[in-house]
Amino acid sequence: MGVELAIEKLKISNQGLLIIQKNVHEQLSEIATDPKMEGLTVDLENLFESYLDTWVKSNLEIISLLEK
């Protein structure tokens, strides 16, 4: 795989991750209705958003390195 293709795939990945992150609250809303998960959904949402942030930042760092 060429460097340009790798950069393109990482950028596309980030676009998808940002869409997921934007909709994470909606995606976890079904879990919030489960009485067993009461009080955990906020923590789960924060954890998931942090994970996505880290993933996007890692991709951006790799893109930066590849572009040099």
pLDDT band at 39; cut points 50, 70, 90: confident
Cα angle vertex 48, ends 36, 6, to 5°?
Answer: 145
Q: What is the pLDDT of residue 1?
A: 67
Structure tokens at 25: 């609250």
Contact 10, 59 (CB under 8 A): yes
pLDDT band at 35; cut points 50, 70, 90: confident
